């Protein structure tokens, strides 16, 4: 069974440009999450989708970030325009349910560098 | 709000040495506690978990005990191997928090032969 897939694995862009990250969750997983790890800091929650609906977007840093999950399958996270402080590793995760016994599956992340 | 504090590292150990990575937390109620591991080039993987006080999570020779009185969840392994080299994240999830996980800063472990 395929795991959570993220694309690209690395992205280097200049300040002011736009970048779109993609996440393909495990097939059948209704719950999809985005997390971010800024260098030297904790992994922080960004938002949670249930199917195509945003359940919780309390962690989104500002309106330069836009997440979508059209059709309830894959998700994209767009940063426009990118700033230097957006650099970090963006992780996607998925789960079938949301109880404590449900396992959360993570992708290997997208390393974003904004120069 | 919820928070997790863990030693930043890096931690360098010789093979077969004893490992302890300290983790303490702040949370309301009774959170579930986790250790995740990220091997080079891979995603985060759940290493072990404990869902209530005094529970011990264990996996691959690693152990951690949920200590409510000290709000701690220290990770231990009696004899580390080179293949244990990775970044280890302590984490918690508050009751009713879906899968909104609060992570620590991560501790990089390097095991040398």
For the stretch A25-73, pLDDT in tens is 999 999 999 999 998 889 999 999 999 999 999 999 999 999 999 888 9
Does residue A114 sit in helix, strand or coil? Answer: strand
B100: nearest CB among A56, A106, A107? A56
A91: nearest CB among B4, B44, B93? B44
- Taking CA atoms, B85 is separated from A19, A39, B47, B109, B113, in Å, by 32, 19, 13, 5, 11
Q: B82 — phi, psi (to 5°)?
A: -55, -35
Regions of chain B where pLDDT drops below 50 = none
Find chain A residues with C-beta within 8 A of B89's C-beta: 43
Q: B84 — phi, psi (to 5°)?
A: -85, -5
Task: Name the residue in chain B with its Cα closest to that of A34.
Answer: B100
**pLDDT in the model for residue B41:** 85
**Cis status of the peptide bond prior to B11, with omega within 30 of 0:** no
Find chain B residues with C-beta within 8 A of A106's C-beta: 36, 43-45
Query: Would the CB atoms of B43 and A107 count as touching at under 8 Å?
Result: yes
Task: State the best of A39, A43, A57 to mutate against chain B, taking most chain B CBs within 10 Å.
Answer: A43
Query: If phi over 0 gives left and psi between -120 and 50 gives alpha, with beta otherwise, what is residue A112?
Result: beta
Whole-angstrom distance, CA of residue A77 vs CA of residue A3: 19
**E-assigned strand segments in A1-115:** 5-7, 10-13, 19-24, 31-37, 43-50, 53-56, 65-68, 75-79, 88-95, 105-106, 110-114
Nearest to residue A33, comparing CAs of A44, A51, A47?
Answer: A47
Nearest to residue A91, comparing CAs of A30, A40, A42?
Answer: A42
- Taking CA atoms, A50 is separated from A7, B62, B68, B105, in Å, by 21, 33, 32, 27
Whole-angstrom distance, CA of residue B96 vs CA of residue A100: 9
Contact indicator for A32, A49 with CB cutoff of 8 Å: yes
**pLDDT in the model for residue A104:** 87
A106: nearest CB among B43, B51, B93? B43
For the stretch A60-112, pLDDT in tens is 999 999 999 988 899 999 999 999 999 999 999 999 887 767 788 999 999 99
**pLDDT in the model for residue A49:** 94
Tell me the Cα Rg of chain A.
13
């Amino acid at each position: 069974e395929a795991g959570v897939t993220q694309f690209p694995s690395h992205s280097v862009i200049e300040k002011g440009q736009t970048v779109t990250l993609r996440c393909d969750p495990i097939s059948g997983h209704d719950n999809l999450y985005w997390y971010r790890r800024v260098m030297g800091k904790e992994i922080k929650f960004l938002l949670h989708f249930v199917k195509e609906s945003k359940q919780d977007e309390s962690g989104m840093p500002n309106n330069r970030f836009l997440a979508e999950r059209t059709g309830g399958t894959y998700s994209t996270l767009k940063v426009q325009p990118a700033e230097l402080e957006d650099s970090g590793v963006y992780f996607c995760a998925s789960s079938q349910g949301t109880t404590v016994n449900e396992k959360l599956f993570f992708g290997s992340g997208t390393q974003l560098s904004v120069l | 709000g919820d928070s997790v504090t863990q030693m930043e590292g890096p931690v360098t150990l010789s093979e077969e040495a004893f490992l302890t990575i300290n983790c303490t937390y702040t949370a309301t109620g009774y959170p579930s506690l986790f250790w995740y591991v990220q091997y080079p080039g891979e995603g985060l993987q759940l290493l072990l978990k404990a869902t209530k006080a005094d529970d011990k999570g264990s996996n691959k020779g690693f152990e951690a005990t949920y200590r409510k009185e000290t709000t701690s969840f220290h990770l231990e392994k009696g004899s580390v191997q080179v293949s244990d080299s990775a970044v280890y994240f302590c984490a918690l999830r508050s009751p009713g928090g879906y899968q909104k996980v609060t992570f620590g800063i991560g501790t990089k472990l390097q095991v040398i032969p």
